[in-house]
Amino acid sequence: MDGWKRAAGSIALIAATTACGTDAPPKNPPSAAETVTSTTRTPRVVDESGRPAITFDPCLDLPDDVLVEAEFDPRSKRPSEYPMESYTFLGCSFKSATPSPGIPHRSRLTILSGNVTLEEEWEKDGHISTRTSVNGRDALLQLDPNNKNTCAINVRTDFGMVTFRRTHFPDDARKLPIDEWCEGLDHTVALFDPHLHP
C-alpha cells in the first residue's frame, strides 16, 4: 500500500459554496416528485480510469459511535485524497482516544478506500502479506518489519479494496515487539465491516 501512496501524493481538497439572493419572483412550489432527496452522494474524487466508482468514503460513512467503540476519536478525522489517472484512493485518518488500561499508548488509524484490486495489492506487496479474511471478506494482513509499529489489513470490496493501517506511538518512542503491532486490528476492522459498501 505504501507504493500506491507514494505514487499518488497527498492532495487536500476543501470546498465551500455560497448562495446569493436575487430579486426574481419566487418560483412555484416544487412538486412532490421534485422534493424527493437523492441518496446518491457525489464522490469526493473521481478518475478517468474506467475502474469502479468508490462507494465507501471513510470520512463520511463510519458512524461516530462505531469509531468510539473502536477507541478512536471522531473529532480527530482528517480527510485525504489521492487522485490518479489510473486509480484513486479516498483517505481518512483518526487518532486514538485517551489511552486506557487496555491501550496504554496513542495510535493513529488511516483508512484508504481505493479502486485497485486485492490481487493488484498482492502482486505489489505479497512479500509482506498474508492471506486472511474478516467477517467472510477476503483480506490481506500486511506486516512490514521495516515499518515501525505499523500493521495493515486490506479487505476486498466490489469497487476494489479498503486498507486499514494502524500505527502505535508509545510515549517513549520505542519499537514495540513485532507481535504487538497487529494485535486487535482484526477486531477493529470487523467493527467497521458492516459499514463498508459491498
Residue 154 lies in a domain: yes
**What is the pLDDT, as a whole number, of residue 104?**
58
Instruction: Tell me the C-alpha distance between 91 and 159, whole Å.
Output: 15
Residue 186 lies in a domain: yes
Residue 137 lies in a domain: yes
Residue 30 lies in a domain: no
pLDDT at 103 over 50: yes
Average pLDDT over residues 187-196: 95
Using alpha carbons only, give the angle 163, 146, 138 rounded to the nearest 5 degrees.
30
pLDDT at 5 over 70: no
Minimum mean pLDDT among 11-15, 73-77, 127-131: which range?
Answer: 11-15
DSSP reduced 3-state for 86: coil
Q: What letter represents residue 195's amino acid?
A: H
Q: What percent of the chain has pLDDT over 70?
A: 71
Residue 104 lies in a domain: yes
Residue 146 lies in a domain: yes
Instruction: Tell me the C-alpha distance between 58 and 56, whole Å.
Output: 6
**Domain region containing 116:** 48-195
- Backbone torsions φ then ψ of 94, nearest 5 degrees: -135, 140
With cut-offs at 50, 70 and 90, classify the pLDDT of residue 189: very high
**What spatial distance separates the first Cα and last Cα of the chain, rounded to whole Å?**
21
Residue 19 lies in a domain: no
Q: Given the C-alpha cell 486509480, which residue does it identify? A: 87
pLDDT at 125 over 50: yes
pTM: 0.76
45 versus 145: the higher-pLDDT residue is: 145
Instruction: Tell me the C-alpha distance between 185 and 163, whole Å.
Output: 12
22: exposed, middle or buried (C-beta count within 10 Å: 0-12, 13-18, 19+)?
exposed
Minimum mean pLDDT among 4-18, 27-41, 70-84: which range?
Answer: 4-18
Q: Which three cell numbers stand for residue 66?
A: 462505531
Residue 54 lies in a domain: yes
With cut-offs at 50, 70 and 90, classify the pLDDT of residue 15: very low
Number of domains in the chain: 1
Instruction: Tell me the C-alpha distance between 129 and 78, whole Å.
Output: 27
